[in-house]
Amino acid sequence: MNFYLTNLRFSFIFTALFIFGYSEDVLKSRPYRQPLENFPAFAVPGQEKAMTALNALHRLHYPPLWLDYPHRDPAAGLCTLWDEWLTGPCLWADTSGLLVCDHQVTISDRLKNSFLNKIIDAEGYVATHQHEGIGHLLGWPFPYWVRSQGVIGAHFSQKGTVSAVLPRGAPLTTEVKDWIITNGQSGALTPDGWLIKFTAPQATLTPPLPLGPIDPRRSPFIQIRWASQDFDGAGAFLEWEIAGQPGFRPEQRMSIPAAAAHDGAMSYHMIPLYQHPLWQGAITAVRINFGNQRPTGAVTLQAIFSHYDTRHNINNFDFIRGAIDTFLWTGDVAFLRTSMPRLRQALRFAQTEFKTLENNCVLTPWVGHEGTSGLQLDAVGAKTILNGTGIGNNYWDLLPFGYRDSYATIRYYDTLLRLASLEREIKNHPAWDIPLDKNAFDPAALENHAAQVKAHGNQLFWSDVTGRFVAGPDRNGQRHDYGFTFLNTDAIHYGFATDEHARSIMAWLDGKRLIPTDTSQGADIYHFRFGPRSTTKRNIEYYFWGWSNPEKISFGNQVQDGGAVLGWSYMDLSARLKVNGPDDAWARLKAIAEWFAEVEAAGGYQAYYKKQGTVLQGSGAAGGLGLDQEFFESLLVPQILLRGFLGLSPTADGFNLAPKLPSAFPALSIGPIRLKNITLKITVSRQEIVIEHLSGKATQLFIISAPGYSAVSPIDWDKTPVVRLKKI
Residue 402, pLDDT score: 93
Let me know whether 78 and 219 are in one domain: no
Q: Is residue 325 part of a domain?
A: no
Phi/psi at 651 (nearest 5 deg)?
Answer: -130, 175
Number of domains in the chain: 4
Q: Is residue 263 part of a domain?
A: yes
DSSP annotation of 214 reads B
Q: Tell me how far apart the alpha carbons of residues 381 and 383 are, in angstroms, rounded to a whole number.
A: 6
Q: The domain containing residue 713 runs over which residues?
A: 646-726
Cβ atoms 14, 131 nearer than 8 A: yes
Rounded to whole angstroms, the Cα distance separating 315 from 139 reads 9
pLDDT of residue 33: 56
Burial class (CB within 10 angstroms; exposed 0-12, middle 13-18, buried 19+) of 177: exposed
3-class SS of residue 565:
strand
Q: Is the pLDDT of residue 261 over 90?
A: no
Q: What is the pLDDT of residue 77?
A: 55
Q: 467 to each of 230, 412, 502, 648, 711, how far by Cα in Å?
A: 66, 22, 10, 32, 42
Residue range 636-655: average pLDDT? 98
41 DSSP β-pair partners:
671
Pairing mode, strands 260-261 and 221-229 = parallel
- Are 111 and 159 part of one and the same domain? no
Strands 564-565 and 625-626: parallel
Domain match, 299 and 336 both = no
Query: What are the start-end ranges of the H helices in 620-718?
Result: 639
- Tens of pLDDT, residue by residue over 265-317, are 889 999 999 999 999 999 999 999 999 999 999 999 999 999 999 999 999 99
φ/ψ of residue 644, rounded to 5 = -100, -70
In a domain, 174, yes or no: yes
pLDDT of residue 242: 97
Predicted pLDDT at 98: 64
Question: Is residue 405 situated within a structural domain?
Answer: yes
Domain assignment present for 583: no
How does DSSP classify residue 640?
A: I
The DSSP symbol for 127 reads P
3-class DSSP assignment, residue 305: strand
Note whether 297 and 337 are same-domain residues.
Answer: no
DSSP H helical segments within 24-165, as ranges? 24-29, 48-61, 65-68, 83-92, 107-117
Residue 383: half-sphere exposure toward Cβ, Cα within 13 Å:
15
Mean pLDDT rounded to a whole number for the chain: 91
For residue range 149-189, what is the model confidence (pLDDT) as tens digits? 899 999 999 888 766 566 666 678 999 999 999 999 999 99
Question: Is residue 356 situated within a structural domain?
Answer: yes
Distance CA 657, CA 650 (A): 9
Q: Is a pLDDT exceeding 50 seen at residue 117?
A: yes
Q: Is residue 393 located within the same domain as residue 448?
A: yes
Does a structural domain hold residue 614? no
CATH code for position 654? 2.60.420.10
